[in-house]
Chain A
Amino acid sequence: MRPSSSQPVLDPVRPVFRAIAATVVPEAARLGEAEWSELEGSVEKAVAERPPKMRRQLRLLIRTLELLPVFRYGRRFSRLDAAARRRFLEKIQDSPILLLRRGFWGLRTLVLLGYYTRAAAAGEIGYAADPRGWDAWRERRETHGQEAQP
């Protein structure tokens, strides 16, 4: 991973990014500040190597998603309630405009990257892959008093 001289992408749009992230993964609404930092750190790292143009586009997309609901709901995205946020992003996801659809898909992917690469998320969803494979699995089964059967 090469370092980037650019400023963090999310700095100027952090509250909106968090509102979008908590709509994509509702459990994110319960994250503390340290966990948000971890999530956002992964996003920043993922975009650090991308061309400056793409980083600008990402920021522009987040700002656009903040403003677009004004025309439909009379409020910015971050001022909407959870149900309206979800309905709005569903419209974007199904937009006939590929650019918008694809842009949201990319943003959604970054949110999922930030959320699900955290070690805590693996525990939360019950993902337990271990480099020791079957040996670790058998140990877990024995700990829980169950018979080991693949």
Chain B
Amino acid sequence: MNERAYDVVIIGSGAGGGTVAQELSPLVRDGLRVLVLEQGPRLNDDEFTGREGEMAPALYEDGGGFLTADGTMMLALGRAYGGSTVVYTGTSLPPPERVIERWDVPGLEYPDLLRRSAKHAAADNVHYLEPELINENNRLFVEGCAKAGWQAGQFPVNVKGCRGSSLCNLGCPNAAKQGTNRVQLPAAERAGVEVVTRARALVIEGRSVRVRVAEQMPGEKGLPSEWAPGDYRVHARSIVLAAGAIGSPALLLRSGCGRALPRLGERFTCHPAHVLVAEHARPITNDVGHPKSYYLDRAEEESFVLETCMYFPFTTAKNLTGFGADHSRFMHAFPRLQMILVLACDRAVPGNRVTVDRAGKPVVHYRFTPEVIEALVRATRASARIFFAAGALRVHAPSADPPLLERSEMGRIDERIAARHFKPGKISLSAAHLMGGCGMGRTPADSVTDAWGRVHGIPWLRVADASLFPDALHINPYLTIMALADRVAERIRSEAGELFGVAAA
């Protein structure tokens, strides 16, 4: 077993880990050693080809096909230098005040989160895309919303020099998206923070992490790990978990923390989603331009959010219900397709949680509550109205049987799209906003950490990712994760004397 020693070990390099790495880099000037472990690879810029069959296996856990325990929902987890910030669309909204108030975490104040979100939004060039860069897939959504009586909002996005490849979810081929792989991690590395890729944290044993560094296989994308392949014991004076809402609770469970932390793995939420597709009479610009420029926030009123989206051939195909000639006909209409992603604003409920199996592999248990099913049905009906208002000829709705609604059926939307047709195992459900599992709160009886990500009873162990959310956020989580990670790092810096024996930075 190889031995290494650091002052701080950060596990994960996404929105949480990347932010902590950059925010702790001043400690390096004080002589402390900071290490980031990332289980995915570090890719060269020219390896981001935008080809679905190549990029999904390289950048996502299980190639994007990580399934919940009953096999009815696919979860998308990024696995690369930069974590999920490599594969998301760059949408950057601050946390909603009503959600943070409802979380009711002592010591977590909305104005503080808002201030930190703004700081990171500025650093990541978050702005509204210029009108001439908005494609028809997005413009039709805005028009359809307006005609249906709603006002769409524009997403601020964290891009710089976006060329409109539409390939954000496969990793930007133009290095335009300002994920942690482009901003925070390079800055941290320049300041002396070390990042080791292809390094999987197996278990935490006291103040050390057992790590397995994987060998790069022939033909595999990315650079070899910075360390030689093999097993390592990495000693640390402080450990920061930022492995995401599945990885962080799973690592703590593997490390035997479940007994002292009875809420570990609980309160998992994920904004379950459908992809809806509609066909227009003429080709529209859809596979060019930023794919997710607008949204409709109905979270407070109807527990759903709609977002524009545009996916790739296989992702589109798997999200269409059914098979055969009807399915193929829709696929062959690709240049005429408009897409909307519908997200249900779920709530933490007993039973929806992360556990580990006997081999230590994470298992996500998720049951669709009647409230979530109703929210998805309402969202699907709203989307159908928007599609038709925008001029679509037909709409593909998973919660309809048969799933195709013709324009002549516009008056029957509520009848045709109904909860009785919501059949997990038949229809495609997915989620990319993975939250909870190490929720913040007051004591071990109701949570895993305090408002600063300190694990109850283990002062040297911190959490800094979406697993901290005590309930769903009801909006894209990127900036909120960064704001929480910023707090975690600040507290570590202020406790540097106690943790590392140096003056507070």
Question: What B residues does A150 contact at CB under 8 A?
Answer: 132-136, 285, 288-289
Residue of A nearest to B285 (CB): A150
Flag B94-138 by CB within 8 Å of A: 1 or 0 each: 000000000000000000000000000000000000001111100
Interface presence of B50 (CB below 8 A): yes
- How many Å lie between the Cα of A26 and that of B174 in the bound state? 36
CB-contact partner of A131 in B62, B71, B132, B165, under 8 A: B165
- How many Å lie between the Cα of A150 and that of B287 in the bound state? 11
Q: In angstroms, how far is the closest chain B Cβ from the Cβ of A124?
A: 7
- Contact between chains at B288 and A124 (CB < 8 Å): no
- Contact between chains at A112 and B314 (CB < 8 Å): yes
CB-contact partner of B332 in A23, A118, A124, A132, under 8 A: A124
- Contact between chains at B166 and A116 (CB < 8 Å): no
Interface presence of B331 (CB below 8 A): yes
- Contact between chains at B313 and A127 (CB < 8 Å): yes
Residue of A nearest to B164 (CB): A133
Please judge, given known A-B contacts A116-B331, A150-B135, whether A134 and B57 are in contact too, CB under 8 Å: no
Q: In angstroms, how far is the closest chain B Cβ from the Cβ of A17?
A: 14
Question: What B residues does A134 contact at CB under 8 A?
Answer: 133, 163-164, 288-289
Flag the segment in A5-13, A69-77, A93-101 that touches B. A93-101
Flag A84-108 by CB within 8 Å of B: 1 or 0 each: 0010010001100010011001101
- How many Å lie between the Cα of A89 and that of B48 in the bound state? 37
Question: What B residues does A50 contact at CB under 8 A?
Answer: 62
Flag A110-130 by CB within 8 Å of B: 1 or 0 each: 001101111101101111111
Residue of B nearest to A89 (CB): B323
Q: In angstroms, how far is the closest chain A Cβ from the Cβ of B224?
A: 15
Number of chain A residues whose Cβ lies closer than 8 Å to a Cβ of chain B:
48
- Contact between chains at A129 and B165 (CB < 8 Å): yes
- Contact between chains at B289 and A117 (CB < 8 Å): no
CB-contact partner of B425 in A23, A98, A133, under 8 A: A98
Flag B314-326 by CB within 8 Å of A: 1 or 0 each: 1011100011110
Interface presence of B167 (CB below 8 A): yes
Interface presence of B65 (CB below 8 A): yes
Mark out the residues of chain B between 369 and 421 whose CB falls within 8 Å of any chain A CB in the assembled complex: none
- Contact between chains at B217 and A122 (CB < 8 Å): no
- How many Å lie between the Cα of A96 and that of B173 in the bound state? 44
Interface presence of A36 (CB below 8 A): no
- Contact between chains at B165 and A127 (CB < 8 Å): no
- Contact between chains at B425 and A105 (CB < 8 Å): yes
Please judge, given known A-B contacts A112-B314, A132-B165, whether A126 and B426 are in contact too, CB under 8 Å: no
Please judge, given known A-B contacts A1-B217, A133-B165, A150-B289, whether A106 and B71 are in contact too, CB under 8 Å: yes
- How many Å lie between the Cα of A135 and that of B173 in the bound state? 14
Q: In angstroms, how far is the closest chain B Cβ from the Cβ of A42?
A: 6
Question: What A residues does B217 contact at CB under 8 A?
Answer: 1-3
- Contact between chains at A24 and B324 (CB < 8 Å): yes
CB-contact partner of B317 in A45, A94, A102, A116, under 8 A: A116
- How many Å lie between the Cα of A127 and that of B315 in the bound state? 12
- Contact between chains at A93 and B332 (CB < 8 Å): no
- How many Å lie between the Cα of A101 and that of B48 in the bound state? 35
- How many Å lie between the Cα of A49 and that of B72 in the bound state? 20
Please judge, given known A-B contacts A1-B220, A116-B331, A137-B288, whether A130 and B165 are in contact too, CB under 8 Å: yes
Mark out the residues of chain B between 82 and 100 whose CB falls within 8 Å of any chain A CB in the assembled complex: none
- Contact between chains at A26 and B324 (CB < 8 Å): yes
Interface presence of B452 (CB below 8 A): no
- Contact between chains at B426 and A93 (CB < 8 Å): yes
- How many Å lie between the Cα of A133 and that of B327 in the bound state? 27
Question: What A residues does B313 contact at CB under 8 A?
Answer: 116-117, 121-122, 125, 127
- Contact between chains at B289 and A86 (CB < 8 Å): no
- Contact between chains at B288 and A133 (CB < 8 Å): yes
Interface presence of B229 (CB below 8 A): no
Residue of B nearest to A134 (CB): B164
Q: In angstroms, how far is the closest chain A Cβ from the Cβ of B315?
A: 9
Flag A16-31 by CB within 8 Å of B: 1 or 0 each: 0000000111110000
Question: What B residues does A25 contact at CB under 8 A?
Answer: 323, 327-328
- How many Å lie between the Cα of A23 and that of B45 in the bound state? 39
Interface presence of A109 (CB below 8 A): yes
- How many Å lie between the Cα of A90 and that of B134 in the bound state? 39
Question: What A residues does B62 contact at CB under 8 A?
Answer: 49-50
Please judge, given known A-B contacts A26-B324, A129-B287, A130-B288, whether A117 and B52 are in contact too, CB under 8 Å: yes
- Contact between chains at A133 and B174 (CB < 8 Å): yes
Q: In angstroms, how far is the closest chain B Cβ from the Cβ of A20?
A: 10
Interface presence of B53 (CB below 8 A): yes
Interface presence of A46 (CB below 8 A): yes
- How many Å lie between the Cα of A116 and that of B314 in the bound state? 5
Interface presence of B70 (CB below 8 A): yes
Residue of B nearest to A119 (CB): B51
- Contact between chains at A132 and B163 (CB < 8 Å): yes
Interface presence of B459 (CB below 8 A): no
Mark out the residues of chain B between 162 and 182 whose CB falls within 8 Å of any chain A CB in the assembled complex: 162-167, 173-174
- Contact between chains at A113 and B318 (CB < 8 Å): yes
- How many Å lie between the Cα of A105 and that of B320 in the bound state? 11
- How many Å lie between the Cα of A26 and that of B326 in the bound state? 10
Q: In angstroms, how far is the closest chain B Cβ from the Cβ of A73?
A: 18
- Contact between chains at A126 and B318 (CB < 8 Å): no
- Top-9 shortest CB links A-B: A117-B53, A133-B164, A131-B173, A133-B163, A101-B425, A102-B425, A116-B313, A129-B287, A116-B314
8 A-B pairs (CB sep. < 8 Å) = A1-B58, A23-B324, A93-B322, A105-B428, A117-B314, A124-B332, A129-B167, A129-B287
